[in-house]
Chain A
């Protein structure tokens, strides 16, 4: 098959087309949406969703699901914010690293329960979804951490602009490239696909699918933790309800991006486009002044249409342990 034809038939191309069409249609109503500054704003706004979706994707690839990402984000966000209150001189990059480490620890708890105790991931993370958020309350008696309590370095670091893009956007781009490289070209990443694509066959090749799930949960947790810092810094407030219910948007981004809930199928570019699609919808609706009563319904309909268009032509070609590297 010629390269151009296969490119056109790929679902990611279709999704990118839908996003461009959507941006164009919104631009007709509100020309301001088509300006470079508006693109930058939408991308920056979507960067947290992109990073979370990439983490979620690694878990879904191994036939798992991580419902605790938003709670992990809220807890690490609160912890880093409190750290900023306690140690105002800490530079932003240290906050970022510590947030990722804390998130990694929370993700590892999920992973260990799945791997060592053998509980299905949906049950484990349904539990930790409540636990992680529940822990936030006693940390500070439920009181908010407000912008004036956060240090200038805590608030300033993600807002730092480099070559026209802020750190939010750069982190999303760098993490997407890193995850792409690992999933497509590192043995470490290929094992995740194998574990989710055909767990039984994977066992015969010496891969422990449950252990791979543990690895995926660690990645997802670390990225969620990192986003905890980004989120709290962006909105300059940490409280119990930070990002309440956001895990559903993260999973939606993966599904729109063509990550198969059955595991083993999905590409980084699809995941990023899925998140961008949601980001564009979320930013477009207020820009064109859609009635708030319709906003939820419209975004739901648009998501379903995108998934239908996107899912057409998906074929599973027989049983394989590992598909060729396309991610």
Chain B
């Protein structure tokens, strides 16, 4: 094991000297690194990435990631990508900071690095593509919370871990948008750690300890499923509504059951599509990733970077009884 790592590292070192601008002639290789393989959302993003790769033509897309959502697993993945000498890495990070050193090393070897979906700290990437702006998500979540109770009543939030960057930003944005719905009162935030059993248990405790809560907002795909199941098991369908962010294919059953009235998610196909375009734009030297730079992203037009190196895809789409089944076939 040790020896193999040394070999891989020295191979990477040797190749690094010849890396650089050999790319125009050969096929460009762009790696799409996801939080974990097998998550429906990322599989859909992969589809978008493939679409972009086909349009761009001169491109080989490598879709990869660890089997569990850990930063350690992603570090190994990136390590092997450095050894394979890809031209660009587009990553959705399991940890904002833990991946910075390894991604810095990738950039030193001439690999272009962008993050998408879950950002890497600015030091570890050249640009970042947000699926939606935090502000837009916060506003959407408040809108979703207000919908089933006509804008009046107590609500609670079910998050993942108290240190999850995305979750905390969305929750903060939600709190900022709350005054727009004067009738909504946020009682508490609980944490399910992205585990089905913990999220379920937290929801049951919430239903028992706060019977006044009418809506549970879960901006997490495991959390929203576990909360919906708990509401159904506690026979609270129709009294308590679960909403938040999740995938149509994973929630279609709960929408039919009535525990989820509506939920939102950004379009992962578009997200993967735009991420691959951005990675290609930088790696090919077409766009310099500086503040204000505008990236052509195929059929979606263009997205520009703000002064912190962030670009935004758009507002999330809301799904309910009327459109969930159709979307469930896709992702």
Contacts and interface: CB of A to CB of B under 8 A. Distances in A.
Nearest to B328: A148
B67 A148 contact: no
Contacts of A239: 38
B252 A146 contact: yes
Interface in B188-203: 188, 190-191, 195-197, 200-202
Nearest to B42: A142
Nearest to A282: B201
Contact of A236 (B204, B209, B229, B256): B229
A235 interface: yes
A141 B38 contact: yes
A244 B67 CA distance: 12
Contact of B208 (A140, A141, A142, A287): A287
Contacts of B204: 41, 45
A244 B253 contact: no
A287 B40 contact: no
A147 B254 contact: yes
Q: Describe B's contact surface by its main secondary structure.
A: helix
A320 to B, nearest CB: 40
B197 A243 contact: yes
A122 interface: no
Given A146-B249, A146-B252, A292-B161, A237 B209 contact: no
B40 A143 contact: yes
B230 to A, nearest CB: 9
A159 B209 contact: no
B250 A144 contact: yes
B253 A146 contact: yes
Interface in A66-106: none
A237 B196 contact: yes
A292 B162 contact: yes
Contacts of B68: 240-241, 244
Given A142-B38, A240-B68, A243-B197, A287 B252 contact: no
Contacts of B186: none
B233 A159 contact: yes
Contact of B162 (A236, A283, A293): A293
Nearest to A279: B201
Contacts of B188: 289
A104 B229 CA distance: 29
Nearest to A130: B67
A263 to B, nearest CB: 30
Interface string B65-83: 0011100000000000000
Contact of A289 (B209, B225, B257): B209
B67 A147 contact: no
Interface string A257-300: 00000000000000000000000001100110100110000000
B302 interface: no
Contacts of B253: 146-149, 236
A272 to B, nearest CB: 19
A143 B38 contact: yes
B265 to A, nearest CB: 15
Nearest to B202: A286
B37 to A, nearest CB: 5
B229 A147 contact: yes
Interface in A217-251: 231, 234-237, 239-244, 246
A32 interface: yes
Interface in B210-263: 222, 225-226, 229, 233, 249-250, 252-254, 256-257
Which of B191, B196, B252 gathers most chain A CB within 10 Å?
B196
Contacts of A144: 40, 250
B205 interface: yes
A134 interface: yes
Given A141-B38, A147-B254, A159-B233, A236 B225 contact: yes
A142 B197 contact: no
Interface in B149-165: 161-162
Contact of B225 (A38, A137, A237): A237
B208 A143 contact: no
B36 interface: yes
A246 B257 CA distance: 30
B225 to A, nearest CB: 5
Which of B250, B252, B256 gathers most chain A CB within 10 Å?
B250
A32 B208 contact: yes
A30 interface: yes
A169 to B, nearest CB: 14
Contacts of A159: 233
Contacts of A242: 196
B201 A286 contact: yes
Nearest to B191: A292
Contacts of B226: 235, 237
A311 to B, nearest CB: 28
A286 B254 contact: no
Given A32-B209, A134-B67, A292-B162, A240 B201 contact: no
Nearest to A150: B253
B43 interface: yes
A239 B38 CA distance: 9
Interface in A282-325: 282-283, 286-287, 289, 292-293
Nearest to A292: B191
8 contacts: A30-B209, A134-B67, A146-B252, A147-B257, A148-B252, A148-B254, A241-B36, A242-B196
Interface of B: 36-40, 43, 67-69, 161-162, 188, 190-191, 195-197, 200-202, 204-206, 208-209, 222, 225-226, 229, 233, 249-250, 252-254, 256-257
Query: Would you list the 3 A-B pairs with minimal beta carbon distance, nearest first?
Result: A142-B38, A148-B253, A286-B205
Given A30-B209, A147-B257, A235-B200, 19 more contacts: A137-B38, A142-B36, A142-B38, A142-B39, A143-B43, A146-B250, A147-B225, A147-B254, A148-B256, A235-B197, A236-B229, A237-B225, A237-B226, A237-B229, A237-B250, A240-B36, A242-B196, A292-B190, A293-B162
